[in-house]
């Protein structure tokens, strides 16, 4: 990967939330390590799928990159700038380059604003809406881009279906022509029949406009469709990262194997006979993560070493990395 191509470089990112007790004499009683040492790179125009179960820190990672949260440690580099601790005024120009699409198409649009004003808000905020005619044209263009009729611009969000609302959200994210869009489970709130349409909107837009996506999801089928590479998160860490086809062909980490095996097959005969890798137990608390490998409490292949020694994310070459002692030995 040549240096110029790298859009986003995340290095050992940590987001810790202190847990306080008491209103007057506040003392910190614990720390939730929502994100604890996440590293990856994202090229221009590339899609990185970020998967993992609920609470593993994938959304928190997205929010920290967008700098809606203050990272507790590590480094975020975007377009060659270290943005880890940018303050509010230096973040403003950055907001034009990074946008977000939200999970809930109902909650993410202000019910009192017309579609025109919702899509146009980024333009207004960044002072690009002074010419009324050009503004209207831009709105119409954005609406067509995401597959909405421009004459719907004067309607309110409640007049649209879930899929249409998500298109409005995408149009808003596109308005400033960002280099990176963070998609936080953008289709998981939609009907399955609509999901495919919206996913295709994402894919088509990337082909035409060339922005990069950080695509956060828990649906492996969706992630497989949109991603170039996939990172699997578990309890605040990336346990495996690889090119899409690699990870689906030969998952290396036991957790990835379990995740992929949990996806049902649409053929009842195959489904009845296929081999499953069951993962038992609950996700441990991020307040008090297990010693050694964080997955050892649920791993069917756990060894003594896993309980004591924390595996690092080891580069296996060809853009593939895994954090597992099993592959330490293999390498």
Q: Residue 26 interacts with another protein (CB under 8 A)?
A: no
With CA atoms as reference, report the closest residue to 80 among 64, 63, 92, 97: 97
Task: Assess contact for 30 and 22: CB atoms under 8 A.
Answer: no
- The two beta strands, 6-21 and 73-78, are antiparallel
Q: Residue 225 interacts with another protein (CB under 8 A)?
A: no
Q: Residue 188 interacts with another protein (CB under 8 A)?
A: no
Smallest separation, CB 22 to another protein (Å): 13
Smallest separation, CB 26 to another protein (Å): 11
Report CA dihedral (39, 180, 64, 286) to the nearest 10 degrees: -60
With CA atoms as reference, report the closest residue to 17 among 236, 313, 231, 293: 236
With CA atoms as reference, report the closest residue to 293 among 218, 237, 230: 237
With CA atoms as reference, report the closest residue to 222 among 184, 279, 252, 254: 184
The position carrying tokens 């050694």 is: 292
CB atoms within 10 A of CB 4: 9
Nearer to another protein, 163 or 292 (CB): 163
The residue range among 1-9, 134-142, 200-208, 314-322 that interacts with another protein, by the rule CB under 8 A, is 200-208
The residue range among 129-137, 159-167, 261-269, 309-317 that interacts with another protein, by the rule CB under 8 A, is 159-167
The one among 11, 53, 79, 104 contacting another protein by CB under 8 A: 104
Q: Residue 108 interacts with another protein (CB under 8 A)?
A: yes
Q: Residue 77 interacts with another protein (CB under 8 A)?
A: no
The one among 1, 25, 28, 112 contacting another protein by CB under 8 A: 112
Residues that bind another protein (CB under 8 A): 66, 68, 91-92, 95-96, 99-100, 102, 104, 107-113, 117, 121-122, 125-126, 144, 147-149, 151-152, 154-156, 158-161, 163-164, 169, 172, 176, 197, 200-201, 204
């Amino acid at each position: 990967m040549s240096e110029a191509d790298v859009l986003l470089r995340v290095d050992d990112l940590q987001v810790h939330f202190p847990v306080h007790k008491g209103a007057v004499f506040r003392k910190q009683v614990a720390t939730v390590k929502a994100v604890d040492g996440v590293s990856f790179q994202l090229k221009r125009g590339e899609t990185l799928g970020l998967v993992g179960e609920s609470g593993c820190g994938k959304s928190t990672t997205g929010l920290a990159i967008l700098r809606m949260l203050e990272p507790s440690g590590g480094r975020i580099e975007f377009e060659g700038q270290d943005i880890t601790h940018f303050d509010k005024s230096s973040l403003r120009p950055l907001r034009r380059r990074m946008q977000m699409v939200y999970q809930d198409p109902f909650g993410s649009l202000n019910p009192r604003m017309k579609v025109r004003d919702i899509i146009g808000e980024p333009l207004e905020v960044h002072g690009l809406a002074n010419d009324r005619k050009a503004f209207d044209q831009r709105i119409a263009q954005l609406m067509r881009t995401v597959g909405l009729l421009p004459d719907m611009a004067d309607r309110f969000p409640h007049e649209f279906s879930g899929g249409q609302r998500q298109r409005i959200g995408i149009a808003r994210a596109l308005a400033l022509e960002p280099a990176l869009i963070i998609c936080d489970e953008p289709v998981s709130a939609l009907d399955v029949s609509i999901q495919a349409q919206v996913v295709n909107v994402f894919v088509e837009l990337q082909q035409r406009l060339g922005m990069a996506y950080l695509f956060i999801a828990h649906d492996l089928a969706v992630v497989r469709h949109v991603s170039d590479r996939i990172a699997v998160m578990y309890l605040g860490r990336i346990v495996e990262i690889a090119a899409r086809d690699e990870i689906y062909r030969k998952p290396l980490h036991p957790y990835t194997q379990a995740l992929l095996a949990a996806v049902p097959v649409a053929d009842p005969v195959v489904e009845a006979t296929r081999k499953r890798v069951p993962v038992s137990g609950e996700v441990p608390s991020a307040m008090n993560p297990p010693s050694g490998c964080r997955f050892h409490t649920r791993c069917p292949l756990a060894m003594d070493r896993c309980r004591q020694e924390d595996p690092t994310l080891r580069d296996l070459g060809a853009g593939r990395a895994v954090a597992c002692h099993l592959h330490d030995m293999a390498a």
